[in-house]
């Protein structure tokens, strides 16, 4: 995969840059593991030892439902032993109790200099749940395996495809890193995967089973007068573009010309509203968005981010115009 950067009057090709050691890329994923599955992941441990193995997991994280996500990172193409290794990790993690997971999270927070009260509090704060929304019994019900490597090994892929066909939640991701002035750019491709684990039909928030109408969207932001005004400007913008507003479960869908859409929903504490943007985003676009918007997440359909200020909205509208015009004119 070749990546180019616009430099004044021409495109400049970015040269591939290999991380010197696995731990260099691991350092970055420890701070933000969103890149791995395109969804927020709460890292709770790095290189934790398992009692029945001398080897250590690169990163252990939790997804929104409390499932354990085992991340194995390989510099260069992985050998077939990588599959055996990650399966061994999954077997070990499956036996961890809630208290053992909490102990790992406590040690990791200590190493990071972060405050820690409990695993449920850490998870709830990360994903924006209210205390009590997720119970201890929900944790580690399933294990999700993620193998990340430079390039693809066809033999590893064949084994991974077989295991996934048997129902194992195994994702195989290929990444390439590039060098730009004062920047680290990483492009990823999901060679095999996507989410097998599905969220149970349970409610973590009071809007989970309700249709998000425009009236409800506005009502939920009334506690924050400034944000309510920003949301109104956002709605006025999409309406001026001829968008059709359609209620969906827990979100409001805005469709433009039948070809392009946005989804939005407010935070329960009225601190921001979330926007999902449909469109093709290059690694450079994503880097740009992360520099200007909070909590940017890469999704299969495009990107998702928070809007909490007028500055965020102004930049978001710039993105909307860019994507909307390119899609509707094609």
For residue 203, give Cα distances in angstroms to 55, 129, 206, 290.
Answer: 38, 11, 7, 30
Please give the average per-residue pLDDT across 189-193, as a whole number: 74
Whether residue 273 has pLDDT greater than 80: yes
Alpha carbon distance 206, 268 (integer Å):
8
- pLDDT top residue among 326 and 147: 147
pLDDT of residue 235: 92
If you search the block for the tokens 């066909």, which residue do you land on?
165
Q: What domains can be seen in the chain, in order of their start residue?
A: 4-192 (3.40.1350.10), 214-328 (3.90.1150)
Give phi and psi for 43, each to the nearest 5.
-70, 130
What pLDDT, on a 0 to 100 scale, did the predictor assign at position 200?
A: 40
Q: What is the mean pLDDT of the chain?
A: 82
Q: Where is pLDDT greater, at 203 or 157?
A: 157
Q: What is the pLDDT of residue 208?
A: 44
Rounded to two decimals, what is the model's pTM? Answer: 0.57
CA within 13 Å, CB half, 38: 21
The neighbour count for residue 153, using CB atoms within 10 Å, is 22
Consecutive H or E run containing 84:
helix 81-94
Q: Which residues of 29-58 are buried (b: 16+ CB within 10 A; e: fewer)?
A: bbeebbbbbbbbbbbbbbebebeeeeeebb
pLDDT at 179: 66
196-244 per-position pLDDT tens digit: 444 443 333 344 457 888 998 998 898 899 999 999 999 999 899 888 8
Task: Please give the Cα distance from 317 to 262 (Å, whole number).
Answer: 12
pLDDT 10s digits, 92-149: 999 999 999 999 999 999 999 999 999 999 998 888 877 677 889 889 999 999 998 8
pLDDT value of position 128: 83
């Amino acid at each position: 995969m070749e990546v180019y950067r616009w430099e004044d009057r021409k495109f400049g090709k970015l040269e591939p840059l290999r991380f010197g050691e696995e731990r260099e890329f691991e350092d970055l994923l420890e701070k933000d593991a969103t890149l791995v599955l395109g969804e927020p992941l709460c890292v709770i441990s790095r290189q934790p030892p398992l009692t029945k193995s001398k080897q250590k997991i690169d990163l252990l994280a939790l997804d929104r439902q409390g499932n354990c996500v085992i991340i194995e990172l390989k510099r260069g193409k992985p050998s077939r032993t990588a599959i055996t290794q990650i399966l061994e990790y999954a077997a070990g993690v499956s036996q961890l109790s809630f208290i053992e997971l909490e102990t790992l999270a406590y040690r990791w927070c200590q190493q990071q200099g972060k405050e820690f009260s409990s695993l449920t509090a850490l998870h709830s704060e990360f994903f924006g749940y209210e205390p009590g929304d997720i119970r201890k019994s929900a944790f580690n019900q399933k294990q999700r395996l993620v193998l990340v490597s430079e390039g693809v090994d066809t033999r590893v892929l064949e084994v991974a495809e077989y295991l996934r066909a048997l129902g194992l939640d195994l994702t195989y991701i290929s990444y390439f890193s590039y060098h730009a002035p004062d920047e680290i750019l990483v492009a990823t491709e999901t060679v095999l995967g996507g989410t097998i684990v599905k969220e149970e039909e349970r409610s973590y928030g009071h809007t989970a089973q309700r249709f998000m109408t425009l009236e409800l969207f506005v009502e939920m932001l009334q506690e924050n007068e400034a944000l309510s005004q920003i949301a109104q400007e956002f709605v006025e913008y999409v309406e001026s573009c001829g968008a059709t507003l359609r209620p969906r479960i827990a979100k409001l869908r805005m469709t433009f010309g039948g070809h392009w859409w946005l989804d939005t929903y407010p935070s329960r504490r009225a601190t921001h509203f979330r926007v999902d943007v449909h469109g093709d985003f290059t690694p450079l676009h994503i880097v740009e968005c992360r520099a200007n918007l909070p909590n940017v997440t890469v999704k299969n359909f495009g990107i998702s981010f928070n809007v909490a200020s007028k500055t965020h909205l102004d930049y978001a509208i710039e993105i909307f115009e860019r994507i909307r015009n390119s899609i509707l004119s094609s």
